Structure 1
């Protein structure tokens, strides 16, 4: 299958490239600069241009950002849309988070409908943020749940803006398909905290993804005195499982028209720190001496059965993910 992958230098997307190539697909990825595009190509030196290439898409929040990117010879059959902002350095929640997420998502759908009639499926990176109800947690979360956040709440603070950006963007995608009846169907991937090895050629310790910052801070001794921060969302998943879920959702016919809640299970920051202490004794003195879990006894349940049944996912264990994450951070100089 010929696949367009948006946001090619992102944490999840970089792993998607690996799985797509391993599974025999040809890939065109979007990046904001030639420099990033060349870095990715250099790290797949054995791939010919017809198997791996890139196009520049400057600002995904522009209405027509993807109009040219979706045109290809030979034409695309699938799209993985992973490009969306995730950070909390926000000055204007609407401009910095909401608009790029929503317009970026509807923009790619419009562009494909208009100029890429051969595309049969678009897989969109959403988030547990679009499932979660932060005020009154569900007893058990699954794809049936939607975050009830309102537009008024969305602009109150960066955390709300991020959750709303994911919720509104995913809803906008489902609405688009329902109203426009395009030539393709969609599937959405909703992971919580994504941990896992960083892609060394794209990262320095200052530019790692937001989710892995907690592991970096632990092994650099930044939390030794202050203690572990609050865990936040008590569920996690390995980036490689998320990437494979994207690719499988493109390949498996039954995945069309479905949301997928992609999670391996529960954790706390103390669980991560415990694994680091046991498996990397040299780093033990960088961590707080007392490690106390903040995970509540009655933490919400999860139902990830659809991802196992439809996509055939087998989730990695936290220990393996933490070990691989730490090793990858040490490689980039932690």
Structure 2
């Protein structure tokens, strides 16, 4: 049997990964920050025997040695999917609150695997388009070749610290493999804004991922008077991102590669229109159909061919994703 450790098991993407791992028959162990979260995951899969799905506590991913015990297992792990990332609402000190935890969380698990889990063949790390984007000067076409050129100094600016943390954490992972020559290779998954159905057992309307908050806000009428600026115009469905993680362990050629997983373009106005089409009963909450779209005419291109060719991804269409997301939010009372 193939055994997989999934870190950050109660996250939005991770919750979808759990389902795909179980469908593929993998024995799955998730790390969670609390017993309560672990129990919720098990309760949501009542028909899954405990040797197929279990959890282990890792209270703070940024602590030295945080993963040392989690990676020890009998039978041993074959693969690790590292989706856990530090979670802070307040930034007082960009280094202490954000950069250190992101970088140490990633290098910490790689060190632990090298030291205590020699059976692991591949580690898949959840990175982000944040580690690719160059907002000062967009290239003509974004692909895995691009890196966010942010510097440590620029990262002290609170508006840049999130993107910087993702960039430095991913670079640290590639550097680790190059310098330490561990027994495993790595692959990284780099999605832009991630939409898709929320996982009911883990989410309240307050605790949903940032991208889906827009869909919640549209449903609740917060865009009625004025649609806010879109920001990043690229999106992907959470189910496709989750599948990409699992494919990255199944497909031999995925090792040593970054994967820019992106389905296409969107704007907040297009999201509103998709909700209007899928859920006409929400019309009274929505802005007028004639509101201007902030989608730029000279938008950069993107190349997702590696994810399609190597991982075999077929991306879901935007209208379906937004409709499913809205449906899942309405189900929990949005």
TM bucket, shorter chain: over 0.9
Shift of residue 85 of structure 1? Answer: 3.3
Q: 1:28 — aligned with what?
A: 29
Q: 2:227 — aligned with what?
A: 228
Q: 2:302 — aligned with what?
A: 302
Please tell me whether the aligned partners of residues 86 and 105 of structure 2 are also in contact (alpha carbons under 8 angstroms). Answer: no
Q: Deviations over 1:154-187 (max 9, x none)?
A: 0111x31000000000000000000000000000
Q: 1:69 — aligned with what?
A: 70
Matched, 1:209 2:226: no
Question: Aligned partners of 2:298 and 2:61: how far apart in 1?
Answer: 40
Please tell me whether the aligned partners of residues 88 and 97 of structure 2 are also in contact (alpha carbons under 8 angstroms). Answer: no
Q: 1:164 — aligned with what?
A: 164
TM normalised by structure 1 equals: 0.98
Structure 1 consecutive aligned stretches of length 4 or more whose deviation exceeds 6 Å = none
Q: 1:95 — aligned with what?
A: 96
Shift of residue 44 of structure 1? Answer: 0.5
Shift of residue 282 of structure 1? Answer: 1.1
Question: Aligned partners of 1:293 and 1:23: how far apart in 2?
Answer: 41
Q: Deviations over 1:277-303 (max 9, x none)?
A: 121111111112243211111101000
| SS across alignment from 1:114 | helix
Matched, 1:270 2:279: no
Shift of residue 228 of structure 1? Answer: 1.1
Question: Aligned partners of 1:215 and 1:91: how far apart in 2?
Answer: 29
Q: 1:318 — aligned with what?
A: 318
| SS across alignment from 2:13 | helix
Question: Aligned partners of 1:21 and 1:311: how far apart in 2?
Answer: 19
Shift of residue 261 of structure 1? Answer: 0.2
Shift of residue 87 of structure 1? Answer: 6.1
Shift of residue 83 of structure 1? Answer: 0.5
Matched, 1:113 2:114: yes
Number of matched pairs: 332
Matched, 1:259 2:258: yes
Please tell me whether the aligned partners of residues 87 and 210 of structure 1 are also in contact (alpha carbons under 8 angstroms). Answer: no
Question: Aligned partners of 2:87 and 2:276: how far apart in 1?
Answer: 29
* Structure 1 spans left out of the alignment, 5+ residues: none
| SS across alignment from 1:282 | helix
Q: Which deviates more from structure 2 when the two are superposed, residues 61-70 or residues 77-86?
A: 77-86
Please tell me whether the aligned partners of residues 189 and 262 of structure 1 are also in contact (alpha carbons under 8 angstroms). Answer: yes
| SS across alignment from 1:201 | coil
Q: CA RMSD in A?
A: 1.0
Question: Aligned partners of 2:41 and 2:325: how far apart in 1?
Answer: 20
1:174-253 pair list within 5 angstroms = 174-225=174-225, 227-253=226-252
